[in-house]
Amino acid sequence: MRFLPLVVLFVACAPTRTVSLTFGQDGEGLDGFMCKDDAGQYLLNRLPPDGAASLVFDFVQLQGVPGCRTGQLLEWCKDHDCSPIPNARGCVPVTLSAPDPDRETLRAALRESMKSVRGHEAIGDAPDEFVLVRVVGTTQTCDEVRARSTSEPLETSKLLGCAYSCPVLLDRVEQAVYLGFDGFVGKCAQGVLICSAEQLSWKTQ
Amino acid sequence: MASLLLPLLLHVAPAGAPAVTVVVEGPASAEAKQSLSSTTLPVELRFSPAPSLEPVKTTPSPWPTRLAAARTAYVTANFVECLRQLEGDAAPAELLATGERLLTARLLAWRAACHTGARQPGPARAAAEALAAFQVPLPEDVASMTPEVESLLARAQTDVGARPMTTARLETIPAGASVELDGRPVACTTPCSMELLEGTHVVRLSADGYTPTWRLLAATDSPIALEPAAPELAAAQWRKRVEKGDALDSAASLRLLSTSLRAPRLVVMASDPATPKLLRGALAVDGQLLVRAERNDDAEGLVRDLLVRGQVVEEAPSIFARWPFWLAVGVAVAAGVTTTAVLVTRDPTTRVEVGFQ
């Protein structure tokens, strides 16, 4: 019995791993924050003058391991519950730059803005299942976001951008988790809408 | 785990553990004692020195003085005084039992002379015949006696020599006692038979570990039971053997040491100057040599070996035969399985943080 405390201590003292979220070394995953609406306006134009915004981190349950591409995910989510895990939502205020007409200048500016939240804890203990990690930019404040259930959509008119990861089991991840956005066109507001939804599925505004 | 199993491997002498007397001799004795003083053997070791090798002081015999006084009385024709100095019926046998043949011869010769002087022919002849029967040589004192006495002594020698021989059988319990006949260290080792001149004879029986005893042979029809020697006598007998070069761990030496040290369980250890690290040992229980063993520079191992082989202590059962071992193994396995299960099934804590570059 004298060894029981040692066993308990050994188990209890298991180190905590830290997994980082990244948009890539050159901010290549920031395309989802540079989307324009059908009128050709950047969603970032919704920012108030002071650039105040919030980044909302969600861990979307998948109930399995679907493929990584948008089409694969949405196809999977037709038959599975792909909603954010309740109580796993995180939010951090951020100040974003006003959009620049030049795409690469805007990317660089966004990178700099995003650096300000580096080190913020998205979640203390990651889910023990395959999830999709999602970060949504919104002009809603974090208080407003927290007051809203994960089963409700964020206000679509205040969306600024979105990025997500491939399905990942965070407990087993060895490297940083890459967040990005599938899209080859600038007018990708529809993608942001789908990405930020309370349930991943094809959506039209 | 080691701290759990260690006590299983060690013995601690329990209360009431058997006492074992240990005698250590030789160049490595100090080291061996030091090693044994912290032993974990389940016995109580009592160290004892071997009996001293100093010779035993003996009290001088009164007979030379008394014989001189008798001679003086005889010369002055004071035969009463002469006989008074020589009185004592058992004196000749007692002297012969101690090997004093010359004193016996002088005593009997002077008795014959004084009785002759006192006109007592019967006792004078008896003394002369006893002298002849014991086959002790005539002493030089005869030259100081009258021709009549010399004639009596010569006639007795002739008469006794003409007697027929008889066979006497000697048995002792236990057997193996040395027999001395009429003060001569001759005869045999019991059980044995001897051819003797008819007449009274004195036999002395001695054996290591027993008190020497003597008998007039005529009275010894049945086996003679030897009395165990007292510790002091046993010590003297042991000294005698060692002085003759007997080994410390010989069977006889162990028997005598057991008696002299009053040690029912005795371990004797010795080393030779040529090989001081090589310890030889022997165990005797109730004086009987049971086992011998040798070890190189391992006094505790040697004593353990002797005690186990001599069945003074039981060999510690194999660790696999002890239930605490299996209990410990069970606990260890259970702990291992539990730990493994916990490690395999536990929910690792993974913190996710923003690492935007």
Q: Kindly tell me if the per-residue pLDDT of B99 is higher than 60.
A: yes
Question: What mean pLDDT do residues A115-123 have?
Answer: 93
What is the distance between the alpha carbons of residues B10 and B301, in angstroms, rounded to a whole number? 13
Percentage, residues of chain A above pLDDT 70 = 91
Within an 8 Å CB–CB cutoff, is residue A156 touching chain B? no
- pLDDT tens for residues B171-228? 888 888 988 888 887 668 888 888 888 878 888 898 888 888 888 876 446 778 888 8
Tens-digit pLDDT profile for residues B236-292: 888 888 888 888 888 888 889 999 898 999 998 888 888 888 888 999 999 889 999
User: Which positions in chain A touch B350 (Cβ < 8 Å)?
Assistant: 16-19, 125-126, 170-171, 173
**In contact, A159 and A43? CB cutoff 8 Å:** yes
Q: What residues in B contact A94, CB-CB < 8 Å?
A: none
User: pLDDT tens digits for A46-97?
Assistant: 999 999 999 999 999 999 999 988 888 889 999 999 999 999 999 999 999 8
Q: How many CB atoms lie within 10 A of CB A146?
A: 14
| More confident site: B306 or B3 | B306
Contact assessment for residue B300 and residue B41, using Cβ atoms and an 8 Å cutoff:
yes
User: Residue A3: its pLDDT value, please?
Assistant: 59
Give contacts of B338 with chain A, Cβ < 8 Å. Answer: 7
Kindly determine whether residue B351 and residue A121, on different chains, have CB atoms separated by under 8 Å.
yes
Residue in A185, A188, A129, A187 with CA at minimum distance from that of residue A162: A188
Nearest-by-CA chain B residue for A180? B356
Q: Which residues of B touch A123 (CB under 8 A)?
A: 351-352
Closest CA to B171 of B148, B190, B158: B190
Residue B107 has pLDDT above 90, yes or no: yes
Distance from C-alpha of B263 to C-alpha of B341, rounded to nearest angstrom:
60
Q: Quick one: tokens of A61?
A: 């349950």
**Phi, psi dihedrals of residue B253, rounded to the nearest 5°:** -60, -45
Query: Average of pLDDT values for B105-112?
Result: 93
pLDDT beyond 60 at B13: no
Side-chain half-sphere exposure of B167, counting CA atoms within 13 A:
3
Which residue of B339, B354, B356 is in closest CB contact with A7?
B339
pLDDT at A121: 93
Nearest CA in chain B to A119: B354
Which helix (H) or strand (E) segment is B267 a member of?
A: strand B265-270
Distance in Å, alpha carbon of B4 to nearest chain A alpha carbon: 10
Over residues B115-173, the pLDDT tens digits come to: 999 999 999 999 999 899 888 888 888 888 899 999 999 999 898 888 888 888 888 88
Task: Specify the pLDDT at position B183.
Answer: 86
Q: How many residues are listed for chain B in this entry?
A: 357
List residues bridging with A55 in a β-sheet.
A92, A137
Across the interface, whether the CB atoms of A118 and B356 are under 8 A apart is answered yes
Find the range with the poorest average confidence among A23-27, A35-39, A179-183, A199-203: A199-203
For tokens 């089963």, name the residue: A151
Q: Which 3 state secondary structure label does DSSP give A58?
A: strand
Give residue-wise pLDDT tens across range B27-41.
877 888 888 887 777
A138 close to A44: Cβ distance less than 8 angstroms: no
Confidence of residue A2 (pLDDT cuts 50, 70, 90): low
Residues of B in contact with A133 (CB under 8 A): 352
Q: Is B295 helix (H, G, I), strand (E, B) or coil?
A: strand
d(C-alpha B208, C-alpha B114), whole Å = 41
Name chain B contacts of A180, Cβ cutoff 8 Å. Answer: none
CA distance B282 to B303: 9
User: Would an 8 Å CB–CB cutoff place B54 in contact with chain A?
Assistant: no
CA distance A115 to A96: 11
- What pLDDT is stored for residue B35 in this prediction? 81
Q: CB neighbours (10 Å) of residue B64? A: 13
Q: What is the pLDDT of residue B2?
A: 45
The one-character DSSP state at A138 is: E
Residue A164 contacts residue A116 (beta carbons within 8 Å): no
- Residue B221's pLDDT is 61
Q: Does B350 touch chain A (CB under 8 A)?
A: yes
Q: Does any CB of chain A come closer than 8 Å to the CB of residue B345? A: no
Cis omega (within 30 of 0) for bond into A101: no
How far does the CA of residue A171 sit from the closest CA of chain B (Å)? 6
User: Rounded distance, CA B93 to CA B88, Å?
Assistant: 10
User: Nearest CB to B352: which of A25, A27, A126?
Assistant: A126
Phi, psi for residue B36 in degrees, rounded to 5: -80, -20
A97 touches chain B (CB under 8 A): no
Q: What is the mean pLDDT of residues A177-187?
A: 87
What is the ipTM for the molecules in this complex? 0.85
Nearest to A115 among B335, B350, B356 (CB): B356
Using CA atoms of A104, A105, A108, A113 in order, give the dihedral in degrees to the nearest 10. -130
Least CA distance to A15: which residue of chain B?
B349
Q: Give percent of chain A above pLDDT 90.
A: 67
State yes or no: cis peptide before B14, omega within 30 of 0. Answer: no
Q: CA-to-CA distance for B7 and B324, rounded, in angstroms? A: 10
- Helix, strand, coil percent content, chain B, rounded in steps of 5: 45, 20, 35
pTM of the model as a whole:
0.50
User: Which residue type occupies A137?
Assistant: G
What gap in Å lies between CA A137 and CA A162, rounded to an integer? Answer: 6
CA atoms within 13 A on the CB side of A188: 22
CA distances from B36 to B182, B207, B226 (A): 50, 34, 38
Note the pLDDT of residue A83.
93
Terminal Cα distance for chain A, rounded: 64
Percent of chain B clearing pLDDT 90 (strictly above):
24
CA distance B145 to B75: 9
**Contact status of B327 with chain A (Cβ, < 8 Å):** no
Name which of A203, A204, A198, A202 is nearest A61 in CA terms: A198
Comparison of pLDDT for B38 and A147, the residue scoring more: A147
Best-predicted range by mean pLDDT (A14-28, A140-154, B10-24, B244-258)? A140-154
Chain B nearest-CA distance from A3, in A, is 8
Q: What is the pLDDT of residue B36?
A: 83
A171/B343 CB distance under 8 A: no
Span A27-39, average pLDDT: 93
